[in-house]
Amino acid sequence: MSWCCCNRLSTSSSSVTSDLWRQFNVPCRISNVGLRQKRSVSAYYGLKTPPYKLDALEPYMSQSMVEIHWGDHHRGYVESLNKQIEKNDIFYGCTMDELIKLTYNNGNPLPEFSDAAQVWNHDFFWESMQPGGGDIPKLGLLQQIDKDFGSFTIFKDKFIEAALTLFGSGWIWLVLSREEKRLAIIKTSNAVNPLVWNDIPLIGLDLWEHAYYLDYKNDKANYVNVFMNHLVSWDAALGRMARAQAFVNLGEPKIPVA
């Protein structure tokens, strides 16, 4: 499924937040909400560093590509988000997950949504890769993939197909669906991520052109295949799956906690 997040509300953020907090039951740590007093805080969300050296993904993702993608595009989303919150700090104190769910506003995103989601998406993307990645998942995660897709080969083909058929800019995710209690592959357009539907993401692949143009030009297929064969971190996915089982009862197989 493909989703667009370009709609905007004519209503201001401050006039809808109270209803959103109640609806989503999000306990943002906000004091004096609704009072337009000036805050002394000048920094909100920071730029996280990838969990490896910037040249660690070579030759499959060059240091130059990481420096531009992380140091320019990712940093730009962080700075833009902080500027928006500085002008209207009604969301100050929310975690990034809380901020995304609130500003998505049931599919009518508030102005802060795209930057907040892209900050979260990029943090998740860097952590979805590792030096020496690729190969196949391990332990119960592989068993769950076999159970829900038929085999790892079928899953891999479906993931690649989803990436190559995504129209425009967006993301491809392997998620654990809370509602269906199974793994699924989903497409999202622009900045939308699975948190807005309360799914639990395990792997995220950035399909904005800025993620691959320097190393792969317009060859998206090569980029996607390299990601699956040499970059994806099944170790990270296994850890995320183990944590997810605290919230979703999948029955067998159980995902062992490392």
Residue ranges of the annotated binding site for Mn(2+) are: 69, 122, 206, 210
**CA-based torsion, 70, 169, 121, 251: positive or negative:** negative
Task: Match 């690729």 to its residue by tokens.
Answer: 134
Strand 182-189 relative to strand 200-206, pairing: unpaired
CA nearest 141: which of 230, 240, 248?
A: 240
**119 in Cβ contact with 45 (< 8 Å):** yes
Annotated binding residues, written as ranges, equal 69, 122, 206, 210
